[in-house]
Amino acid sequence: MEKNAKIYIAGHRGMVGSAIHRKLVKEGFTNIITRTSAELDLRDQQAVTSFFEENKPDYVFLAAAKVGGIVANNTYRGEFLYENLQIQNNVVHSSHATGVKKLMFLGSSCIYPKMAPQPLKEEYLLTGPLEPTNEPYAIAKIAGIKLCDAYRMQYGCNYISVMPTNLYGYNDNYHPQNSHVLPALIRRFHEAKEGNAESVTIWGTGTPRREFLFADDLADACYYLMQEYDEEGLINIGTGEDISIRDLAYLIKDITGYTGKIDFDESKPDGTPRKLMDVSKLASRGWKYKVELAEGIKLAYADFLDKQSATTVQ
């Protein structure tokens, strides 16, 4: 990417999009185009068409999506499928129509079959049934990958797809009902500390293992791949390392300074036993994550506290 190239980040205010924005600014890019969802509704085909015709970006990072936790995914199944398809279809097609040089589509590790072998290799896509609770979101993301490949095959478009593992970091979602496990635990341990709670109860046995990548490391990988990677299909982005929910809970307990005890409610479900990405394809191209989990959680917790104090001041 040329330093003066027009770069459009779709979803620049989310955790992923904002991390990509920070990375590009740090690398000296000055012609970055952004629009809030109020300024540009990516579900609106005509609005997206007009935006691309007027601005003609050279490069596109498609990080915008309708996202949520397990409850939201399972409750609003129609919206998660329909709206994500709208966003992807509009941005990818308009990119082609206006001659975008390269587009990066960001997916999710939920695209892989529920019972796929671990660690998850790129070739496991479409080899078995999906996790039922977030199937609509996963179907939309799979369609996005295939749309990029179809435009590559038919029109020669240089569109690539990347699949990040579980993410955390600055601008994360800490909503009590629909945040993911790591930010949810940060909030719960913080509130337990503030309220002098004797204990924090966590669902399940604590034995399931999950992989976590700091969002700014993802942005670094995306920047690297935008320069170095030009293949069809998809490429995983992760650490290649995982941690049990039990160990994660004790790590966050220490970082937040909570001094009570942790109870594991074994009557509650554990979920998938393990979810780890195979990152050998990315590693073979010379990229590796930088931020270790404990360091990243400290940074995320500091950001959470900043957001809390800003809300209190308002």
Annotated binding site for substrate: 188, 203, 210, 270
Neighbours of 182 (CB within 10 A): 23
Burial state string for 258-276 with b = 16 or more CB within 10 A and e = fewer than 16: beeebebeeeeeeeeeebb
Active site residue 289: no
| Numbered residues of the known binding site for NADP(+) | 11-17, 106-109, 141, 164-167, 180
| Numbered residues of the known binding site | 11-17, 106-109, 141, 164-167, 180, 188, 203, 210, 270
Spatial separation of the C-alpha atoms in residues 207 and 197, rounded to whole Å: 24
Taking alpha carbons only, the member of 186, 184, 222 closest to residue 19 is: 222
130: which DSSP letter? P
Question: How far is the CA of 269 from the CAs of 181, 208, 300, in angstroms?
Answer: 14, 10, 27
Residue with tokens 């000296």: 28
Q: One of 8, 59, 112, 137 is an active-site residue; which one?
A: 137
Q: Return the active site residues.
A: 137
